[in-house]
Amino acid sequence: MPLAHLDRPFDYAVPEAMAAEIRAGCRVRVRFAGQLVDGFVLELADTTEHGGKLAPLAKLVSAEPVLSPEVSVLARSVADRWGGTVTDVLRLAVPPRRAAAEKRPVPEPPPLPPAPDPAGFARYPTGPALLTAVGEGRPARAVWTALPGEDWPARLVELCQAALSGGRGALVVAPDGKDLDRLAAAAEQRLPPGSFVVLRADAAPDARYRRFLDVVRGSARVVLGTRAAVYAPVADLGLVAVWDDGDDLHAEPRAPYAHARDVLLHRAHLASCAAVVAATARTAEAQLLVESGWAHELAAERIALRAAAPRVQALGADAELARDPAARTARLPSLAHRVARQALADGAPVLVQVPRAGYAPGLACDRCRAPARCAVCSGPLGISPTPGPGGSRVPACRWCARPAATFDCPHCHGTKLRASVVGATRTAEELGRAFPGAAVRVSGRGSGVLPTVPGGPALVVATPGAEPVAEGGYGAALLLDSWALLGRADLRAGEETLRRWLNAAALVRPATAGGQVVVAADAAHAVVQALVRWDPGWLAGRELADRRALGFPPATRIAALSGSPQALAEFLEAARLPADADLLGPVPEPPRPGQEGERERYLVRVPRGEGVALAAALAEVQGVRSAKKVPEHVRVQLDPLDLV
C-alpha cells in the first residue's frame, strides 16, 4: 500500500485451489478495505500471529516469482534508510507485467566463460588482484579512477566476466543510454551470448519485461542498466559496479530519492559481494569510502598517467598573457585558436565543450547589462536555435513563448540586446566563421547526441555529457565558458566542473601523440590545478575535508523537508528528531508544477551515524500524518544533491 501508515506486510489465507501454484515472489490480488489491490507474496507459512480470521487471496495474477527474497529485503532496507515506503521501492524494482513474455520457454543457461585476461588492468598496481578477488567471490571493494583514454567499458565487462567465471552474477549501472550502449557493445565481444541483458528505461515495455524475466529465471547472470537496474534480481550476486557516480542522472527523482551509487553499495553490504565505484573523476562520497577504509583506491602510478594524459593548458601563464593581454576575458583566446588550428592541420577532430545548449538562452540589455525580461509574464528572453521565417532569429520568452520584436529596458530604456549566455548552436556558428572550411558538428539537446564521430578534421561542439567518442581520439579539446560551471551557487560546483572537464579531456589523444586541452579559466583556481595535474583524488580529498569542517554531506546526513509553512510546523512539532539534529531554515521555495501557494523548506542535519535514526523519525511522522489523513503533504528527501 502506498500509504505510509500501512507500510507493512499483511497475512492472507491461501485457498486450496491456489495452493499448488502459489509461491513466494508471485503477484496476487487481495481484498483490502473493500477494494481489490495488487500485491506480492513475501512468504508462505503454516501459522500466523494474526488473532482473527484471515481473508483469502482473491486472485493469483501470475505464478512467476518476480520478487526475489533478496530484492524484498533490499526494498525494505532502502525504504528504512531513505525514509520511504516499500511500495515506492517496488514500483522501481519490478516492471509492469506482460503476460506474453511469461509464456516464453525458459532458455538454457549459457556456459561459464573463462577468467579474463588481467592485461587490461595491468596499468593499475592492484588491478589484477581485484580481478582475481572478484573471480574467487571475495567481497573486494575499490574506488577506481580510470586513466584518460581508458577503454572503461571493456574493463568493467572484464570484471563481470571474472564474476561469471566463478559462477556468480554481476550488476553494472551507467548514467545514460550513450554509456550503456558502449557497455553493451563490450559485453557482446567478451561475454557468452545470452549471459547478459541490458535493462534501460527507454526500452519497450515488452522487451524490458522479457529481459527482466531472463534475470529472474537465472538464464542471464549479468545485468547492464541505468538507474532502476540497481534492483535487478541477479542470482548469487558477486559484483556491483557503477560508472561515473557523480553524474546527477544516478539520483532517483522519485521517492524515496535514493542515489544509485548508495543503493549499490548498500546492496554489496547486504550480499557480501564485491563493489567497484568507477569514474574518470572522483566524488567526495567516493573519497569518503577510501578514507574510511571501506574501499581501496585503484589508480595508476603517475608515470602511467603522464604517458596516457593529454597536455592541459590554462589561462594565466605569463608568456601567454604577454602574447594575448585579453586572454583572461576572451571567450576563445588566441591559445585556443592556435591549438585548434594545429589539430585540424594534423587531420584530427577538435572537441569544443560548452556548458549550455541552444543558441542564446540568455539575453541582457546591451547598455546596462540587466537581464532581459518578457513584457507580459516577466520570463527570461532568449533566442531559439531554430531560425524563423527568412532565417531571422527573433528573441522570445522562454516561459510563454511570446516573441519580443521590440525591446525597451525598464532600467535604462535601452533598445538593444546582447547575449549574456551563448549556447552550443551559436558557438558552432562562431567557430564556423573562425575556421572557414572546417566541418562543424553539434552534439547535445535539441540537435541530437552523437555517439561517435569519424577521425578526420572537424570541430565538434558538445554540451557536457554529450561528447561523442572520436575514432582515434581528438587532437585537441577546448573547454569554454568556465564561469558558467565554476560560478554556480552549488555545494558540488567544483567537483562537478572537474568531472565534466575530465570526461571531455579523457577523449583526447595522449600528449605523446600531440593531444592538447585548453581550459578557458584562471590557472590559479584549485579546480583548474586539479585538471592540469590530472589529480581528481587531490580535489576530492580537499572537498571532503572542507565539507567535514562545515558539516556538509557526505560527512553528515541531511534531510530536506518541503511544504506549506503550516504543514511544516505541524510536521516538526510531531517529529522526534535525534538529539544531535540541527534544524536549518526555513527558506522560501518556488512552487513545483501543479502546486500552488507559499512553500518553504527546512534542512535537518545530523552526524552520519545518526542517519538511520533520522530516517526512522521522519517516516514515523509521515505514518502518523497518513493515518490522520492530513490533506497537506510534506515532501521528505534524504541526502539531496541540490541544497540551494
Question: Residues comprising the binding site for Zn(2+)?
Answer: 365, 368, 374, 377, 397, 400, 409, 412
Residue 168: all three cell numbers together:
556468480
Specify the DSSP element, H or E, that contains 52: none
Contact between 457 and 477 (Cβ < 8 Å)? no
Close Cβ partners of 481 (under 8 Å, ≥ 6 residues apart): 331, 354, 355, 356, 422, 520
Distances (CA, A) of 396 to 383, 386, 411, 423: 6, 12, 19, 15
DSSP letter, residue 352:
E
Report CA dihedral (417, 422, 426, 432) to the nearest 10 degrees: 120
Contact between 335 and 480 (Cβ < 8 Å)? no
For residue 138, the number of C-alpha atoms closer than 13 Å in the C-beta half-sphere is: 9
Contact between 129 and 276 (Cβ < 8 Å)? no
Residue 414: all three cell numbers together:
535601452
Specify the DSSP element, H or E, that contains 500: helix 493-505
* Sheet with 59-62: strands ordered across: 35-40, 27-32, 59-62
Three-state SS string over 546-607 comes to: HHHHHCCCCCEEEEEEEECHHHHHHHHHHCCCCCCCEEEEEEEECCCCCCCCCEEEEEEEEE
DSSP letter, residue 259:
B
Three-state SS string over 124-164 comes to: CCCHHHHHHHHHCCCCCEEEEECCCCCCHHHHHHHHHHHHH
Give the SS3 label for residue 485. Answer: helix
Give the SS3 label for residue 644. Answer: coil
* Sheet with 350-353: strands ordered across: 311-315, 516-522, 476-479, 350-353, 459-462, 440-443
For residue 7, the number of C-alpha atoms closer than 13 Å in the C-beta half-sphere is: 26
- Alpha carbon distance 167, 178 (integer Å): 29
Which residues participate in the annotated binding site? 365, 368, 374, 377, 397, 400, 409, 412
Write the Ramachandran bin of 194: left for phi over 0, alpha for psi from -120 to 50, otherwise beta. left
- Alpha carbon distance 29, 550 (integer Å): 50
Calculate helix-pair angle for 565-574, 611-627, nearest 10 degrees. Answer: 110
| Residue found under cell 585558436 | 337
